[in-house]
Amino acid sequence: MPQDPAKTSALLLDDARFDLHAPVAYHPERPERLAAARAAVKGAASWVAWEKVAAREATADEIARVHDAAYTTHLESLRGQEAYLDPDTYVVPQSIAAARLAAGGVVALVDAVLAGRASKGVALVRPPGHHARPGQAMGFCLLNNVAIAAAHARAQGIGRVAIIDWDVHHGNGTQEMFFRDPTVLYTSTHQYPFYPGTGAVNEIGEGEGRGATVNVPLSAGGGDAIYRGAFERVILPVLDEFAPELVLVSAGFDPAERDPLAQMDVSDGAFGWMAREIGKIADKHARGRTIMVLEGGYDLPSLEAGLSSAVRGLLGNEADDIARDLDAPDLGKAARWAEKAGHKLG
């Protein structure tokens, strides 16, 4: 069916089978999160022509680029079972299939973007991924969706992939997977000190990967001005300098002021501003190729409103502005460490 030329074209990954990863008792990572995310996407349908990308299970080879074989084998042994892999991370009979569909779906979305079907995509996936380590489930995450996608893009010949993680929790798994890799930039803004305990400013990568990890830890209570300062002073200059060929966003909406699992104070509109500014750099260096992948966000109205704003920002249908007060006392240290790692911030 031909696309409406008056609408912006974008790719969408979603699948009802993600809902089958459902806790047997209350858990903040629950199917209702995707209902909120779908409402945001549906709300954009008046001006976005969404083209669906079909989910499919990630292959063993795709997963093996970032996860240990023994861990993948262990996950496969849990198909059809109920268990807790740590105090926070559950599996039910359909969880492993859902996790592999989420990871493989994001890989398929990367392939669709690289093939030119559209330059931008949104992935509504569960379970989330950025805490999943090479050999360990953690923090609601089973497979690291964004990391698997980044490694796949590299295998397809993309020279430089950037991952921007604005989830309120540091993406320790993603950082670990690329800590020594100069071809994948990992940047993160996150509440600190906080779960999972990683993400200090001096975690900048090792060996050839030194400088390709950039952390901007933020004190509890940080709001729009703090996030704008983090992006304008550190994240965006580093991203521009890196000149990525593909940008992946670990888009968690738990920095929102109403989220129950964190203590940040970010407005809905701030997500649109961050997405817009990331998109500008992707337009400059990456032919616009940007994929936003759902991570956290546990207050359902905040998730819907934040994602709606992020879609507007990413796809160019305006984005709410945020405060210009950049007085952020803990950002100086982050900037100094970024410069120590070899980045020129100004």
pLDDT tens-place string over residues 112-152: 999 999 999 999 999 999 999 999 999 999 999 999 999 99
Residue 174 falls inside a structural domain: yes
- DSSP conformation letters of 40-74: HHHHTTTTEEEEEE---PPPHHHHHTTS-HHHHHH
Whose CA is closest to 246, among 212, 278, 214, 215? Answer: 278
The residue behind tokens 């109920």 is: 82
- Give the whole-angstrom CA distance, residue 33 versus residue 298: 7
> How confident is the model over 280-314, as pLDDT tens digits?
999 999 999 999 999 999 999 999 999 999 999 99
Quote the pLDDT of residue 320: 65
Residue 8 located in a structural domain: no
Mean of the per-residue pLDDT values of the chain: 95
Tokens 């493989």 belong to which residue? 104
- Domain annotation covers residue 1: no
Give the residue with greater pLDDT, 330 vs 40.
40
Which residues span the domain enclosing 194? Answer: 13-340
pTM score: 0.96
Q: 345 in a domain, yes or no?
A: no
Q: Check whether the bond before 260 is cis (ω within 30° of 0).
A: no
Residue type at 249 in one-letter notation: V
pLDDT of residue 3: 62
Q: Which is catalytic among the residues 131, 152, 169, 190?
A: 131
pLDDT at 319: 67
In a domain, 55, yes or no: yes
pLDDT in tens, 179-236: 999 999 999 999 999 999 999 999 999 999 999 999 999 999 999 999 999 999 999 9
What percentage of the chain carries pLDDT values higher than 70? 95
Assigned token pair, 233: 């002073």
Q: Is 282 helix (H, G, I), strand (E, B) or coil?
A: helix
**DSSP code, position 322:** -
Burial 311-331, CB ≥16 within 10 A → b, else e: bbbbbbbebbebbeeeebebb
Query: What pLDDT score was predicted for residue 346?
Result: 72
What total of structural domains would you count in the chain?
1
pLDDT number for residue 1: 44
Q: Which helix (H) or strand (E) holds 320?
A: none
By three-state DSSP, how is residue 175 classified?
helix
Q: Is 131 annotated in the active site?
A: yes
Whether residue 49 contacts residue 11, with contact meaning beta carbons closer than 8 Å, is answered with no
Alpha-carbon 164 to chain mean position: 7
CATH code, 29: 3.40.800.20
In a domain, 106, yes or no: yes
d(CA 176, CA 186): 10
Query: Out of 65-74, 253-262, 331-340, which region has the weakest mean confidence (pLDDT)?
Result: 331-340
- Is residue 4 a part of any domain in this protein? no
Question: Measured between alpha carbons, how far is 181 from 192 in angstroms, rounded to an integer?
Answer: 24
Q: How far is CA 200 from CA 33, 146, 180, 242, 319, in A?
A: 29, 21, 17, 21, 30
Identify whether 294 is part of a domain: yes
Scanning the chain, the segments in alpha helix (DSSP H) are 32-43, 60-64, 69-77, 95-114, 145-155, 172-177, 224-230, 236-242, 268-285, 300-315, 331-340
Cα distances (Å, whole numbers) of residue 99 to 9, 52, 283, 324: 27, 19, 31, 39
Model confidence at 277: pLDDT above 60: yes
Residues 6+ apart with CB under 8 A from 124: 12, 13, 14, 18, 34, 37, 38, 41, 294
- Mean pLDDT in residue range 54-61: 98
pLDDT, tens only, 19-31: 999 999 999 999 9
